[in-house]
């Protein structure tokens, strides 16, 4: 009788990153344009509320069409799960093949910029202070991970902090980077290409390309190599 292998790690192929970019149906672009012409920005935001949480085919199609209609630009193959929300989506530029998980929230600003590159995977309940945010191509974003792109100046000290000015600093996430579950990226931070941020890390300074960081505050752990094992400090269970 052979020993049980239950509980051992196993390696399976990723799904999102290996997919061909899904083609939109022929009517998709026309639907988005019709919505844009008929509703305008305020109307589209109100309309989105009707389809924001459903899981059916119509809800899924309408979420996608409304995002395509209301953003500054949006590629093909977008998938938006139920409960995903936004603020100032007119400042968003979204690439091809982007997935936005359930209850993720992207908070832009009327004079801001939010760029999300091709084939980016955003896990459920992620949060983005997207007043000045660029996420390059093929980034994996773990469930619950966050970007904080601004802070209050807290000056002068004789007024409530929430009434003080906001200081906005750009956050840049390099291509191929992987942000672990519940990690937090603070204002002004740049994550280098191909870097890995461990689950739960709080990143307060720039991360070198192809490095691995973890902890609170996040510290350099090692460089990635071709012989990297399964990186269980970073992945959030996505396929």
- Tell me the per-residue pLDDT of 35-67, one tens digit each, with 9 for 90 and over: 999 999 999 999 999 999 998 999 999 999 999
Task: Give 62-101 pLDDT, tens digit per residue.
Answer: 999 999 999 999 999 999 999 999 999 999 999 999 999 9
pLDDT of 19 reads 73
To the query of whether residue 152 is one of the catalytic residues in this protein, the response is: yes
Q: Tell whether the model's pLDDT for residue 231 goes beyond 60.
A: no
Nearest-angstrom CA–CA distance, 130 and 116: 10
Give the three-class secondary structure for 16: helix
Tokens 């939109």 map to which residue? 24
pLDDT of 228 reads 57
Best CA proximity match to 51, nearest among 35, 33, 74, 73? 35
Nearest-angstrom CA–CA distance, 212 and 218: 9
pLDDT of 148 reads 96
Annotated catalytic residue within 16, 19, 152, 235? 152
Instruction: Compute CA distances 123 → 152, 200, 210, whole Å.
Output: 27, 14, 21
pLDDT of 237 reads 41
Over pLDDT 90: what percentage of the chain?
82
- Give the global pTM: 0.88
Mean pLDDT of 174-202: 98
């Amino acid at each position: 009788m052979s020993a049980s292998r239950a509980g051992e790690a196993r390696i399976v192929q990723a799904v999102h990153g290996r997919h061909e970019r899904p083609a939109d149906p022929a009517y998709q672009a026309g639907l988005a344009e019709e919505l844009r012409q008929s509703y305008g920005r305020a109307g589209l935001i109100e309309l989105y509320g009707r389809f924001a949480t459903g899981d059916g085919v119509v809800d899924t199609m309408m979420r996608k069409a409304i995002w395509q209609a209301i953003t500054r630009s949006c590629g093909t193959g977008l998938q938006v799960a139920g409960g995903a929300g936004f603020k100032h989506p007119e400042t968003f530029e979204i690439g091809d093949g982007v997935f936005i998980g359930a209850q993720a929230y992207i908070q832009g600003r009327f004079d801001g910029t939010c760029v999300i590159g091709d084939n980016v995977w955003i896990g459920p309940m992620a949060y983005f202070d997207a007043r000045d945010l660029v996420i390059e191509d093929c980034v994996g974003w773990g469930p619950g991970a966050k970007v904080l792109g601004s802070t209050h100046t807290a000056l002068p000290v004789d007024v409530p902090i929430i009434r003080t000015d906001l200081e906005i600093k750009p956050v840049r996430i390099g291509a191929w980077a992987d942000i672990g579950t519940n990690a937090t990226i603070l204002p002004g931070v740049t994550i280098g290409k191909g870097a890995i941020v461990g689950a739960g890390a709080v990143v307060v300074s720039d991360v070198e390309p192809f490095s691995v960081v973890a902890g609170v505050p996040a510290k350099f752990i090692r460089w990635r190599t071709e012989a990297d094992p399964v990186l269980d400090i970073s992945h959030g269970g996505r396929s």
